Chains A and B, each alone.
Chain A
Amino acid sequence: MGKEILPVRFAVLDKVLNLARANSLWPMTFGLACCAIEMMATAMSRFDLDRFGAAVYRATPRQADLMIVTGTVTKKIAPVFTTLYDQMPSPKWVIAMGNCAISGGPFAFEGQYSIIEGVDLLVPVDVYVPGCPPRPEALLEGFLKLEEKITKTRRFPGPEKRW
């Protein structure tokens, strides 16, 4: 991503950095609608998100590296949304949580004038978590998929490997 100062990259350094980044993803609070409540439930004691290093929610984009888009993105909030995405320092990732963020959800009907059908029309999305709203376990699986994307290895067994 972008230009770097050193003309060479060290594989071991990259591996260590990616491991560090994946295990301490700091989300930014961008709760728009109903999915935000399920995101909060994921961070609480039952479906603990803190064991993956990720419950340090920052309100400011300057200190965050993950944006979980929970809820419908309307045309009115789209400029605010892209501004916040720009203000995050790289490397940054985006999880689109819920049907509204993936493709407009139940609000995409013919004659609609106010929502943006899918947040990937605005920013590049790394992981899609479907559901309306997705269960907290689904969001945790989305997190682990994001870690897998960053580090190319998967730490915990996935559901298909268990049974």
Chain B
Amino acid sequence: MRSINEFSPVLLFIVVAVIFTIVPIFIAYLIAPRTKGRKTLETYECGIEPFGSAWIRYSITYYIYALIFIAFDVDVLYLFPVAVSYTHGDRWWEFVALIVFVSLLALAIIYAWGKGVFRWERKYFP
């Protein structure tokens, strides 16, 4: 069981990252000139006012991408404990276990690739 002091670099890292992001925003807020025209806060669409609604049902091909992303997100979650307890080659079978794990997940991608998920064919409208 490690003591909590070993995680103090992590805490320092988090604090520095937060400062790094907040301070430029604050400085810009102080010294930037502020003007607003009539159309400044409108959506940019090449200068034309956008018309039509954007809240529609999207096509199923996007769903497949989202599914693949979720699967690999969970995969990364499982890899976090591995990163912490990896012994950099002292025990060789850890590396083999890791490779087997990752390649089984990659098989899913290869299956999707073979099924044609990444090929978006031309649609024919009547």
Contacts and interface: CB of A to CB of B under 8 A. Distances in A.
* Majority secondary structure of chain B interface residues (helix, strand, loop or mixed): loop
Size category, B interface: 10 to 19
B35 A1 contact: yes
Contacts of B42: 83, 86-87
Contact of B35 (A5, A61, A90): A90
B40 A87 contact: yes
Contacts of B84: none
A114 interface: no
B25 to A, nearest CB: 13
Given A62-B44, A80-B47, A81-B47, A86 B38 contact: yes
A14 to B, nearest CB: 9
A21 to B, nearest CB: 11
B29 interface: yes
B114 interface: no
B102 to A, nearest CB: 38
B48 interface: yes
B31 interface: yes
Contacts of B31: 4, 6, 13, 17
A80 B32 CA distance: 26
A55 interface: no
B29 A5 contact: yes
Contacts of B33: 1-2, 4, 90-91
Given A5-B29, A83-B47, A87-B44, 17 more contacts: A1-B35, A2-B34, A3-B34, A4-B32, A6-B31, A17-B31, A60-B44, A61-B44, A62-B44, A82-B39, A83-B39, A83-B49, A85-B37, A86-B38, A86-B40, A87-B37, A87-B40
Interface of B: 29-40, 42, 44, 46-49
